[in-house]
Amino acid sequence: MTFGAADERAHTAGSGSWWETWHLDAATDDGVGISVRLACAPALGVAWWWTHLFLPDFAGPVVVRDHEVGLPRQGLEVRADGLWGELICETPFEHWTYGLEAFGVRLDDPADSSRGEIGERVAVGLDLEWEISDPSDEAHEYPAGAELHGYEQFGRVHGEILVDRSTIELDAVGLRSHTWGTPRYDSAARSAWFHSASGSESIPDVPTTTRRRADGLPVGAHNVVNDQLAVDAEVVGLVTIPLVGPNGEAAVLARGLCRYAIEERGVGGSRRGIGWSTWLDPA
């Protein structure tokens, strides 16, 4: 499917359960991970903002999450109590910027996200740019089912992350996505992406064996992509997000910064990678 510049902008809203989401993940080899998401439900008059950070000098994840943000009044800029965020498409499919000034919390345990997100309050700021790094990194259709449409695209993410009194210079591989439609939370789903010496690759919902800790949260996974490719994921940072679907169905979304061991039969051999994995589990 071919996407044009108009697809980067907001689409005409559908039913009351229709959502439109702009998302960015980034990861570095030395263990820095960041994800940013703006999701809008025009019929409900509400937007969600997520920012999740993993930093080597912080023992737990840093979370900025607000599910009661007003819809953008202009472009993709949102404001709420203790939160300002903006996404700007500078050049379609080539250059985006991401800004944030907010207060978040540092969590001791990823399960705290499902228990009220009580933790140390910290200031969080972002001044980031996503840019296409290779002409071959074109937008590809997002394989999320018939009810959810969109695309994803690899590139480079650079800029500054501010947490409390620390400033982190970021230069990372990044995957951004833009989807619209009616999400489903009533069935399990898995996905992942990674970057290695051979490039970047997105793994759709494939047969996955997940290793879990006692409370059910994932600590790793074995993904069988095809007869030639298997990918093992080790979670190095995890966040959880409780979700409620349009018909009241409950689910838990777990997202992990992961290190990957990629086994490719034939000439590919073995290699290592970094990226993100996602688990959606009905509650």
- The answer to whether the beta carbons of residues 44 and 16 sit under 8 Å apart is yes
- The answer to whether the beta carbons of residues 25 and 69 sit under 8 Å apart is no
* Those residues with Cβ within 8 angstroms of residue 110's Cβ, 6 or more apart along the chain or in another chain: 60, 61, 217, 238, 239, 240, 254
* Residue 103: predicted pLDDT: 97
- The highest-confidence range among 109-118, 233-242, 261-270, by mean pLDDT, is 233-242
* Those residues with Cβ within 8 angstroms of residue 178's Cβ, 6 or more apart along the chain or in another chain: 7, 8, 20, 21, 22, 23, 142, 150, 151, 152
* Those residues with Cβ within 8 angstroms of residue 50's Cβ, 6 or more apart along the chain or in another chain: 35, 36, 37, 39, 63, 64, 65, 241
Separation between Cα atoms, residue 192 and residue 222, nearest integer Å: 11
Rg (CA), the chain: 18
Separation between Cα atoms, residue 278 and residue 58, nearest integer Å: 22
* Residue 267: predicted pLDDT: 66
- For residue range 183-202, what is the model confidence (pLDDT) as tens digits? 888 889 999 999 999 899 99
In this structure, what DSSP letter does residue 84 have?
A: E
Among 199, 189, 195, 202, which Cα is nearest to 142's? Answer: 202
Q: Tell me the pTM.
A: 0.95
* Residue 38: predicted pLDDT: 98
Dihedral over alpha carbons 101, 243, 130, 230 (to 10 degrees): 140
Residue with the two structure tokens 């777990």? 254
Does the structure show a pLDDT above 60 at 145? no
Separation between Cα atoms, residue 175 and residue 173, nearest integer Å: 7
Residue with the two structure tokens 């051979």? 198
The distance of Cα 80 from the centroid of its chain, to the nearest Å, equals: 21
Does the structure show a pLDDT above 70 at 268? no
Separation between Cα atoms, residue 192 and residue 257, nearest integer Å: 10
Integer distance in angstroms from the first to the last C-alpha of the chain?
34
- The answer to whether the beta carbons of residues 152 and 167 sit under 8 Å apart is no
Name the band, by pLDDT with cuts 50, 70 and 90, for residue 160. Answer: very high
Does the structure show a pLDDT above 70 at 144? no
Residue with the two structure tokens 């840093």? 62
Name the band, by pLDDT with cuts 50, 70 and 90, for residue 135. Answer: confident
Separation between Cα atoms, residue 271 and residue 264, nearest integer Å: 8
